[in-house]
Amino acid sequence: MFGLGKKTNDLVALLPEVRGKYLCNVLMARHTWCGVGGEAEVLYCPADDEDLSFFLKTKPYNLPVSVIGGGSNLLVRDGGIPGVVIKLESRFHKQYIIGNGVITCGAGLRNRDLKKIMLENNIGGLEYLCSIPGHLGGAIKTNAGCYGTETKDVLVKATVVDGNGEVKEVPAADFNLGYRSSCFPDDWIITSLTLKTEPRGPNEILKILNDHKERRVKSQPYNERTAGSTFRNPEGLKAWELIKKSGCDNLQVGGAKVSEKHCNFMINTGKATAHDLETLGEMIVQRVKDETSITLEWEIKRMGIPNK
Ligand SMILES: Cc1cc2nc3c(=O)[nH]c(=O)nc-3n(C[C@H](O)[C@H](O)[C@H](O)COP(=O)(O)OP(=O)(O)OC[C@H]3O[C@@H](n4cnc5c(N)ncnc54)[C@H](O)[C@@H]3O)c2cc1C
């Protein structure tokens, strides 16, 4: 699954012996929706919570550790990510438990896989997630939402492994979920979660899913290399309106351009580098500031180091 990785490098010799998988020098462009990004020095896919906990308890002090989900909200810089990047592999997250109006599943489950689960079990309430790319862990971190529902509305609790390797159950309120954001320690890795559901039959579920898809196809770039909305909407305002008003809706830098369909999306037209995309984004921030005195905040998470 994780092509382009080598079996070993200098760092891997210093890492604890885990039951999961280490892959070295993994090209992150393969793990991000916008298709850019240099190499992760080591990509670690834990076997389970205990394996992840052991890794975090015994890893070298000062080792840089980052976590990614489906890579749909990420811009990894061209110089790559030093240290270890943790990714929960979706194949270890196929198990789920349903009952008492909730579903508990692994954080590596892809949002879109909820469709089959909902249809087979006559449960609804999570349709909004099916049209949002990424994995469930990422949906908590970003408080993903669309068409009137966000993760904050359905999250009951989650299991996390903290930076010291302690496994704990955390109630929804402790994640401090807000508009496309959360406020919990960056070293917490969400490994499973419990979400509220509602009884709902397949016909109604499919109707909602089709409606969401139609709205998305109409208003946003679809099947394009992008990391979703580039900027958060400033309170009471729309980022896309500010971008348009500032004359940025047809900007292009190298292989990166502003989407013609929705100007708060940046597109990798095929040969963009992370530097092209980040430069385009910063150019928009500057022009919007000059024009409106408002400073747009990145919604896309930027990771890694620029090319030397
Ligand atoms: C075409 C397109 C449309 C989109 N539409 C929407 C939309 O309608 N609504 C919306 O909200 N978003 C949208 N997005 C953005 C994106 O899909 C969401 O933010 C999504 O929830 C990110 O999840 P991910 O698994 O891909 O996370 P990643 O992009 O991999 O990571 C995002 C952040 O989450 C952290 N993270 C990931 N997994 C974990 C974990 N297990 N534990 C702790 N931290 C973790 C990462 O460190 C990073 O900070 C869209 C993106 C695209 C490309």
Residue 2 within any structural domain of the chain: no
Locate 290 and state its tokens. 């000059």
Active site residue 180: yes
Give the end of a domain, one of 188, 219, 250: 219
pTM of the model: 0.95
pLDDT score of 1: 40
In this predicted structure, the answer to whether residue 308 has a pLDDT above a threshold of 70 is: no
Judge if 186 and 296 occupy the same domain: no
pLDDT score of 174: 97
Backbone angles phi, psi at 39, to 5 degrees: -90, 145
Q: Which of 66, 68, 81 to mutate to test the pocket of ligand 1 (most atoms within 8 A of CB)?
A: 68
Number of domains within the chain: 3
Instruction: Kindly name the residue from 53, 72, 131, 229 that is annotated as catalytic.
Output: 229
Judge if 69 and 175 occupy the same domain: no
Among the residue ranges 37-46, 91-100, 175-184, the one predicted with the least confidence is 91-100
Residue 249 within any structural domain of the chain: yes
User: Could you tell me the residue range of the domain that residue 187 belongs to?
Assistant: 94-219
**Residue bearing the CA closest to ligand 1, atom 33:** 138
E-only strand ranges, the chain: 21-27, 39-45, 65-68, 74-76, 81-87, 96-99, 102-106, 123-124, 145-146, 149-150, 155-161, 167-171, 189-196, 198-199, 252-253, 256-258, 266-268, 301-303
Judge if 136 and 207 occupy the same domain: yes
Q: What b/e string do you get for 6-41 counting C-beta neighbours within 10 Å, with b at 16 or more?
A: eeeeebbeebeebebbbbbbbbbbebbbbbbbbbbb
Q: How confident is the model at residue 90 (pLDDT cuts 50, 70, 90)?
A: low
**pLDDT: which is higher, 202 or 91:** 202
Q: Is the CB of 285 under 6 A from ligand 1?
A: no
Backbone angles phi, psi at 206, to 5 degrees: -65, -35
CA 151 to chain centre: 13
Give the end of a domain, one of 63, 90, 117: 90
Active site residue 224: no
Locate 232 and state its tokens. 């958060």
Range picked from 2-11, 89-98, 121-130 for highest mean pLDDT: 121-130
- The alpha carbon of 152 and the centre of ligand 1 are apart by a number of angstroms equal to 14
Q: How confident is the model at residue 37 (pLDDT cuts 50, 70, 90)?
A: very high
Stretch 158-172: mean pLDDT, rounded? Answer: 97
Judge if 43 and 109 occupy the same domain: no
pLDDT score of 41: 97
Domain harbouring 46, CATH code: 3.30.43.10
Q: What is the mean pLDDT of the chain?
A: 95
* Residue type at 97 in one-letter notation: I
pLDDT score of 89: 82
Judge if 35 and 112 occupy the same domain: no
Residue 7 within any structural domain of the chain: no
Give the end of a domain, one of 45, 72, 90: 90
Q: Is the CB of 125 under 6 A from ligand 1?
A: no
